[in-house]
């Protein structure tokens, strides 16, 4: 924890050190800076500012509902002037410019460092540069590439290059990092980026680009390091009290004391506990969790539509708050007849503001998040400090399994990797008989198992959007309505009084693992909250920011 605190201090120090501001694609660096190990470390620390490490939003996926609101992604209005598009582009190139400055200037410190130490510093900067280019490549496709320090005029003359060229440059940076970074650090050392992080992030971008052989090899190399383990308990991995889990391959620490936090938590918290219950899990997500027999809800005889949390994969309750169970000092229930609920700490019944009969803006679909939520969310003005996990070991295991499946190299190692992740969710060993282990099957069947495993494992972690993009499922998943509960009077009359709460039956799960609620809609038992839209003719890539197209002559992506 001392090392973690010192590292955070380094991040914060760089955020306030204006003299080291290295603007993107500009010549803003000193000709003498980075001439000592201390200066190199300070410059490297600046590369880990949270603003540089962009994550896709769950808002952009089918795991999400924000009342009746949509985003520029989910209502198909994304364009080159979208604020987050411009910010993503500029911030990421700023990080690249800073990494290039470190790489080009590191030789100034060669008289004070061994070759091994110098290469470690350079490797760390190249790791960051590779991650930044991977982020740009996977979202924009046709980007500019530079590994040099440029002035503004030089930067304006850069043109886009082929994606495969960028990918190879990313691989070269990751390979240099793998060759020169440490495998692990001693307890007395400040922990920095490791070989395993470079292997894991290389595997991720290779998977995203469909280079399954490279993804397989990089993931296997990371696994073979034997430096990482799955966190014993899935639910506790995401709490603020869990720091530096052995599952976290690469993370950015957060600290309330140092104002590096995860905020906006009030939108995720129940109204009984003082939140707004506005940003919630979708029904699409809830009904995608398999049952404890390993079957989908429409195939499992154990599924109970009146309580859809019974007999489900444990990650269901760990991700979405179960009905009639404790949550933040209250029993949580959205049932329209539950006008009062138990406040656990007092043992008294209080008005149930998580019921839309009492509170109009309670969750529109009856669901609220549970993943990562604990009583600490009620403190510090809704600001929390869980580790910002960029990539964890479960992802590497599933990257390995997916790459092997797509290569049609299906063997026992594939199901073993998936079963490690699934068994952890059930709190048992992979050799146990007390969980629905995945069996060897054909490519198509295992592909569907793997894809759903990722959805159950990584909900609310910013991975679903890119999964939909790379699987070319966004045009299907994001052109479906977001459904929710009927208004209270209709809900009582048409659903509750007729014995059809929560749903009359399980929704049909289609061949891509997506729930279909259209029959209930036709029967008038549910309500369309918002109609998502996704334009497949263009949205599989983001638009190049309009300012770059107008001022630098970059070519816009198709149909924007």
Residue 530 near residue 70, CB atoms below 8 Å: yes
75 has pLDDT over 80: yes
Q: In this predicted structure, what is the pLDDT of residue 177?
A: 98
Contact predicate 502/477, CB 8 Å: no
Domains, the chain, ordered by start:
1-57+81-193 (1.25.40.890)
Mean pLDDT of the region 362-376: 96
Cα–Cα distance, 513 to 494 (Å, whole number)? 28
Distance from C-alpha of 9 to C-alpha of 105, rounded to nearest angstrom: 24
User: Tens digit of pLDDT for each residue in 317-353?
Assistant: 999 999 999 999 999 999 999 999 999 999 999 999 9
Instruction: Give the pLDDT of residue 33.
Output: 87
**pLDDT over threshold 70, residue 443:** yes
Task: Find tokens 């996926």 and name the residue.
Answer: 61
pLDDT of residue 24: 39
Q: What is the DSSP string of 435-476?
A: S-------HHHHHHHHHHHHHHHHTTTT-HHHHHHHTT-HHH
Q: What is the pLDDT of residue 186?
A: 87
Does 206 have pLDDT greater than 80? yes
Q: Report residue 6's pLDDT band, with 50, 70 and 90 as the boundaries.
A: very low
Tens of pLDDT along 450-459?
A: 999 999 999 9
Residue 134, pLDDT > 70, answer yes
pLDDT of residue 30: 54
Question: Percentage of the chain with pLDDT > 90?
Answer: 89
pLDDT interval class at 250 (50, 70, 90)? very high
Q: Which residue has the tokens 């952009």?
A: 60
Instruction: Tell whether the model's pLDDT for residue 444 goes beyond 90.
Output: yes
Q: What is the DSSP string of 210-238?
A: T-HHHHHHHHHHHHHT------S-TGGGG
Phi and psi based region of residue 408 (left: phi greater than 0; alpha: psi -120 to 50; beta: remaining):
left
Query: Does the pLDDT value for residue 227 go beyond 50?
Result: yes
1, pLDDT greater than 50:
no
Tokens of 271: 């109204």
For the segment 289-317, what is each residue's pLDDT rounded down to a tens digit?
999 999 999 999 999 999 999 999 999 99
Give dist(CA 364, CA 280) in Å, integer: 9
Q: Is the dihedral of CA 471, 308, 58, 515 positive or negative?
A: positive
Q: Assess contact for 222 and 200: CB atoms under 8 A.
A: yes
Cβ atoms of residues 228 and 373 within 8 Å = no
- CB atoms under 10 Å from CB of 82, counted, come to 18
Q: Residue 52 pLDDT > 60, yes or no?
A: yes
Kindly report, residue by residue over 378-437, the tens digit of the pLDDT: 988 889 999 999 999 999 999 999 999 999 999 999 999 999 999 999 999 999 999 999
- Which letter does DSSP use for residue 208 in this model? H
Angstrom distance (rounded) from CA 443 to CA 455: 18
Quote the CA–CA distance of 88 and 458 in Å, as a whole number. 22
Radius of gyration, alpha carbons of the chain? 24
Q: Which residues contact 40 (CB under 8 A, 6 or more apart)?
A: 34, 102, 106, 109, 121
How does pLDDT run across 485-531, given as a tens digit for each residue? 999 999 999 999 999 999 999 999 999 999 999 999 999 999 999 99
Q: How far apart are CA 452 and CA 475, in angstroms?
A: 17
Angle, nearest 10°, between helix axes 115-140 and 83-105? 160
**Pairing status of strand 348-351 against strand 340-343:** antiparallel
Q: Quick one: pLDDT band at residue 152, thresholds 50, 70, 90?
A: confident
Six token digits for residue 40:
């190199």
Q: Mean pLDDT score of the chain, rounded to an integer?
A: 93
Longest dimension (CA), the chain: 81
Does the bond joining 502 to the residue before it have cis omega, within 30 degrees of 0?
yes
Tell me the H-state helices in 345-411. 393-406
Task: Look at residue 374 and tell me whether its pLDDT is greater than 50.
Answer: yes
Q: Which of 50-54, 107-111, 325-329 has the lowest mean pLDDT?
A: 107-111
Average pLDDT, integer, range 138-162: 92
Beta pairing, strands 508-509 & 515-516? antiparallel
pLDDT for res 124: 98
Q: What is the mean pLDDT of residues 35-57?
A: 95
User: What share of the chain in percent tops pLDDT 70?
Assistant: 95
In 3D space, the residue among 402, 471, 414, 407 whose CA is nearest the CA of residue 441 turns out to be 414
Residue 22 has pLDDT above 50, yes or no: no
What's the pLDDT at 467?
Answer: 98
């Amino acid at each position: 924890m001392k090392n973690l605190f010192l590292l955070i201090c380094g991040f914060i120090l760089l955020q306030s050190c204006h003299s080291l501001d290295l603007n993107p694609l500009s010549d803003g660096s000193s000709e003498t800076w980075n001439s000592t190990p201390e200066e190199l470390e300070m410059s490297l620390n600046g590369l880990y500012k949270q603003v540089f490490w962009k994550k896709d939003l769950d808002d952009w996926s089918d795991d999400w509902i924000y009342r009746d609101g949509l985003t520029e992604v989910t209502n198909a209005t994304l364009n080159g002037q979208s604020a987050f598009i411009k910010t993503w582009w500029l911030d990421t190139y700023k990080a690249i410019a800073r990494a290039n400055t470190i790489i080009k200037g590191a030789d100034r410190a060669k008289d004070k460092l061994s070759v091994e130490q110098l290469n470690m510093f350079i490797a760390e900067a190249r790791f960051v540069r590779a991650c930044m280019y991977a982020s740009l490549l996977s979202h924009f496709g046709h980007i500019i590439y530079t590994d040099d320090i440029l002035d503004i005029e030089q930067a304006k003359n850069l043109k886009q290059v082929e994606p495969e060229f960028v990918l190879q440059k990313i691989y070269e940076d990751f390979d240099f990092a793998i060759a020169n970074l440490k495998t692990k650090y001693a307890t007395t050392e400040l922990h920095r980026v490791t070989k395993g992080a470079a292997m894991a992030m290389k595997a991720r971008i290779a998977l995203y680009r469909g280079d399954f052989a490279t993804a397989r090899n990089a993931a296997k190399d990371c696994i073979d390091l034997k430096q990482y383990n799955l966190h014993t308990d899935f639910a506790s991995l995401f709490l603020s009290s869990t720091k530096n889990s052995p599952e976290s391959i690469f993370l950015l620490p957060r600290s309330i004391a140092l104002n590096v936090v995860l905020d906006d938590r009030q939108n995720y918290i129940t109204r009984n506990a003082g939140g707004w219950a506005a940003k919630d899990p979708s029904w699409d997500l809830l009904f995608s969790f398999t049952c404890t027999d390993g079957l989908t809800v429409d195939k499992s005889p154990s599924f109970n539509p009146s309580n859809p949390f019974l007999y489900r994969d444990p990650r269901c309750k760990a991700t979405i708050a179960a009905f009639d169970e404790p949550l933040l000092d209250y029993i949580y229930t959205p049932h329209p007849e539950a006008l009062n609920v138990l406040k656990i700490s007092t043992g008294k019944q209080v008005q149930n503001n998580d019921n839309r009969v009492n509170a109009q803006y309670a969750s529109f679909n009856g669901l609220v998040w549970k993943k990562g939520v604990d009583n600490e969310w009620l403190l510090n003005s809704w600001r929390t400090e869980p580790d910002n996990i960029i990539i964890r070991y479960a992802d590497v295991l599933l990257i390995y399994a997916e790459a092997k499946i797509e290569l049609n190299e299906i063997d026992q190692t594939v199901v073993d990797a998936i079963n490690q992740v699934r068994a952890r969710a059930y709190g048992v060993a992979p050799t146990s008989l007390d969980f629905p282990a995945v069996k060897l099957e054909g490519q198509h069947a295992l592909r569907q198992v793997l894809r759903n495993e990722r959805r159950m494992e990584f909900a609310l972690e910013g991975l679903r959007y890119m999964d939909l993009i790379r699987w070319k499922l966004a045009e299907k998943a994001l052109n479906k309505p977001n459904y929710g509960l009927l208004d209270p009077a209709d809900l009582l009359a048409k659903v509750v009084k007729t014995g059809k709460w929560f749903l009359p039956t399980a929704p049909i799960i289609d061949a891509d693992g997506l729930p279909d609620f259209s029959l209930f809609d036709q029967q008038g038992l549910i309500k369309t909250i918002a109609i998502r839209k996704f334009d497949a003719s263009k949205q599989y890539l983001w638009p190049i920011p309009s300012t770059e197209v107008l001022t630098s002559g970059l070519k816009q992506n198709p149909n924007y």
